[in-house]
Structure 1
Amino acid sequence: MTRLPLILALACLLAACDQNMDQQPRYSGYSRVPLFRGSVLRPPPANTIARDDLAREKSAGSKPALTPELLARGRQRFGIFCSPCHGAGGDGTGIIVQRGMPRPTSYHDDRLLAADDQHFFDVITNGYGAMYSYAARVPPADRWAIVAYIRALQLSRHASLDDVPADERSKLETSP
């Protein structure tokens, strides 16, 4: 009688040895499954919002105030993400262009001088022509900083002496 429970326990343990826990049955992400009448990937429920989407949308919709810190951040981000194609001056002669890639439109082109800030933000977000989207690489606050720096580049090339404040203008007129 005492051997029966021991034999049953040993039989259960030996029966479990046949299952390979490393190779369990599963479906790949895009395979069709009869249970779901379609793909394994299921659409999210209606009105579902991903984590941090509301904060991201809020920062994308509100243009920050122009400050020296914003311009400094925009210059840094422009140097990292934009200057390889657009060049340091925004004229479309970056190192990538020198290696044979298509030349992007200069920021000093009349069409882009007349474009609003939202246009530049949308192009960074969604891409345009040969330029791919930077939405996953550049957060919205940095996109606005880059837009501010692009405007500073445009202003630096197309500004007149009348655009300079009077006290700074006198310094420029007296310098050799």
Structure 2
Amino acid sequence: MISLSIRTSLYPLCFCGFLFLCACRHDMMNEPRAKTFSQSEFFKDGASARPLPANVVPRGEAQVNDAFHIGMTNGVYVTQLPMQLTPKLLARGRERFEAICAECHGRTGDGNGMVVQRGFPVPPSYHLDRMRNAPLGHFFDVITNGYGAMFPYAAQVEPQDRWAIAAYIRALQLSQHANPNDLPPDVRNKLEAESK
């Protein structure tokens, strides 16, 4: 059995050891690292970026369609939807718009969402002439990269959902500024009869 005096003298030693171990911290932010494309003395070629190993299999989706992935072709915004417009796509666009965009832009796209009513800067109404005349790729690009006070949503919203939102924005614009002469005669006659 250890005597009381030895045990008492071990307490300060154990306490110092405990403090020493608590100070041993290994944070990744303190590790030596190389910045992308910077010089490196570690590798023979002097570059910190390393070539991909042979037979690497890419993950995710290859972005080979500029119109679909960036909303532009040859640096010009696309004017047509790069996918088929279906009721399902518009329904998805409405659902995503109401979940993500309506808080600022309002449910009808008038720029009077709940956040704006609480003091956030007013976004432009989708029903202004310049917005109605904007190509569809413009809306996709703004959702992707942000604009003004709007943050980019590329990380939160997949490209197909961005296009669905853009298509729904165009539907909102048409709903407020539809030309009755663009309707088929039977639909136009039905609406005229209902309005009387």
- TM-score range normalised by the length of the shorter chain: 0.7 to 0.9
Instruction: Choose 152-161 or 85-94, whichever is displaced more.
Output: 152-161
1:160 Cα shift? 1.6
CA distance in 2, matches of 1:163, 1:123: 29
Instruction: Choose 60-69 or 76-85, whichever is displaced more.
Output: 60-69
Distance 1:88 1:172, change over 3 A: same
CA distance in 1, matches of 2:176, 2:159: 26
CA distance in 2, matches of 1:51, 1:72: 29
Among candidates 150, 161, 169, match of residue 150 of structure 1: 169
Q: Does 1:51 align with 2:59?
A: yes
Q: The residue matched to 1:28 in structure 2 has which SS?
A: helix
1:143 Cα shift? 0.3
- The amino acid of 1:69's aligned partner reads K
Structure 2: give runs of 5+ residues left out of the alignment.
Answer: 1-20, 35-39, 43-47, 71-80
1:166 Cα shift? 1.1
Match in the other structure for 1:92 = 111
Could you list the per-position Cα deviations for residues 139-172 of structure 1 after superposition, in whole angstroms to 9, with x for gaps in the alignment?
0000000000000001111112112211111111
Match in the other structure for 2:180 = 161
Could you list the per-position Cα deviations for residues 66-107 of structure 1 after superposition, in whole angstroms to 9, with x for gaps in the alignment?
111110000000000100000001010000000000000011
CA distance in 2, matches of 1:65, 1:158: 23
Match in the other structure for 2:29 = 28
CA distance in 2, matches of 1:146, 1:161: 25
CA distance in 1, matches of 2:32, 2:125: 46
Match in the other structure for 1:141 = 160
TM-score, with length taken from structure 2: 0.66
**Number of aligned positions between the proteins:** 149
Distance 1:127 1:57, change over 3 A: farther
Match in the other structure for 1:10 = none
1:37 Cα shift? 5.4
Match in the other structure for 1:17 = none
Among candidates 99, 104, 116, match of residue 123 of structure 2: 104
Q: Does 1:127 align with 2:146?
A: yes
- The amino acid of 2:124's aligned partner reads T
CA distance in 1, matches of 2:184, 2:154: 37
Among candidates 62, 73, 76, match of residue 95 of structure 2: 76
Could you list the per-position Cα deviations for residues 25-69 of structure 1 after superposition, in whole angstroms to 9, with x for gaps in the alignment?
565277557xx459xxx54647x9962140x55452682111111
CA distance in 1, matches of 2:58, 2:50: 10
Match in the other structure for 2:45 = none
Q: Does 1:116 align with 2:135?
A: yes
Match in the other structure for 1:60 = 69
Distance 1:130 1:49, change over 3 A: farther
What root-mean-square deviation, in Å, do the aligned CA atoms of Structure 1 and Structure 2 show? Answer: 2.9
1:110 Cα shift? 1.4
Structure 1: give runs of 5+ residues left out of the alignment.
Answer: 1-19
